[in-house]
Amino acid sequence: MSTVKNYLSLIKFSHTIFAMPFAMIGFCLGVEAFPGGHQWNLGSMIGWGHDITNFIVWERVLKLFVLVILCMVFARSAAMAFNRYLDKSFDAKNPRTAIREIPVGIIKANSALLFTIVCSVLFIVTTFFINKLCFFLSPVALLVVLGYSYTKRFTALCHLVLGLGLSLAPIGAYLAVANRFDWLPVLFSFAVLFWVSGFDIIYALQDEEFDKSNDLHSIPAALGKTRALRVSELLHILSALLVIIAGIYGSFGLFYWIGVAIFAGMLIYQHSIVKPNDLRRVNIAFMTANGIASVVFAVFVIGDMFLK
């Protein structure tokens, strides 16, 4: 049991709260595009009766739901474990990260690498049972989420690569169900890209001096704390604009717009509590504000679709 707990800590399983809600939005959008999926809203479900066709449709949807969850877990676990493996020497030197599992010897580096390989294989195998499109695109997704770990070594745009990795959640979940691309999940994916990139810059403020002294690249290391926060604000403005555009494009109702207001409010809140000369509440901005933003927004978006 302690081993499981150690690996959950290694991959920061609690951080799944960032991408998973948007994956659920993408999944539900895919269900609407699924043959028979238009019947998933509350009004239509009341008249389902005992039509065997409906049960067949929803048996397939439930299977896809489980597979999407597994894909999310495997891909994210592989990405985080690989990041910890690759950054082990830097983590050992950084006082903030020296207590992580690999530097202190709780998990061996080779074990983390093996864990990465196993999760990567399981991710690809799981996509095989979804559809051919997801299966053929799975190596590309892994290349993005694993490749992020190298980017801090050569570009300050590493935050955008992390955002790109998490932005695959809504479009990937949509593809799993609909088996085709569409603009609405793409808009949500871009919103995630800018949202994640923005709050990762805030988180990176803590390591500005360490990054500079160890030849690592980040927006704070390149621009300084004040200008880095301005870049983060710009990215979050773009994210808010995209969820507004998605709401107009998708003809969402009142519940959606309440969710947008809360999401935007959480973005404003995190920038109000983090200052260039005061980083004491970075973790509140990073984890609490963004966790609330993603979960509450997803609840209102999905609720809006369900109550049509």
Tens-place pLDDT, residues 216-274? 999 999 999 999 999 999 999 999 999 999 999 999 999 999 999 999 999 999 999 99
> How far is the C-alpha of 19 from the C-alpha of 31, rounded, in Å?
19
Q: For residue 163, which of 290, 275, 251, 289 has the smallest C-alpha distance? A: 290
Residue 255: what residue type?
F
- Range in 31-35, 82-86, 196-200 the model is least confident about: 31-35
Residue 247: what residue type?
G
77, 119 Cβ separation under 8 angstroms: yes
CATH number for the domain spanning 240: value is: 1.10.357.140
- Helical H segments across 152-224, by residue range: 158-178, 183-204, 208-213, 219-223
pLDDT confidence bin for 34, thresholds 50/70/90: low
pLDDT at 37: 52
Look at residue 155 and give its three-state secondary structure.
coil
pLDDT at 79: 96
> How far is the C-alpha of 82 from the C-alpha of 149, rounded, in Å?
7
Q: How many CA atoms lie within 13 A of 254 on its CB side?
A: 1
> How far is the C-alpha of 290 from the C-alpha of 17, rounded, in Å?
9
Whole-number percent of the chain with pLDDT over 90: 79
pLDDT at 48: 47
Helix axes 132-151, 158-178, angle to 10 degrees: 170
- Arithmetic mean of pLDDT over the chain: 91
- Range in 32-36, 49-53, 211-215 the model is least confident about: 49-53
What total of structural domains would you count in the chain? Answer: 1
For residue 139, pLDDT over 90 is answered with yes
Q: For residue 242, which of 264, 270, 268 has the smallest C-alpha distance? A: 264
What is the mean pLDDT of the segment spanning 19-47? 73
pLDDT at 42: 47
Residue 39: what residue type?
Q
Q: Percentages helix, strand, coil for the chain, rounded to the nearest 5?
A: 80, 0, 20
Residues with Cβ < 8 Å from 63, sequence gap 6 or more?
none
**Domain range spanning residue 122?**
2-306
pLDDT digit string (tens) for 164-175? 999 999 999 999
Whole-number percent of the chain with pLDDT over 70: 92
> Bigger pLDDT: 9 or 302?
302
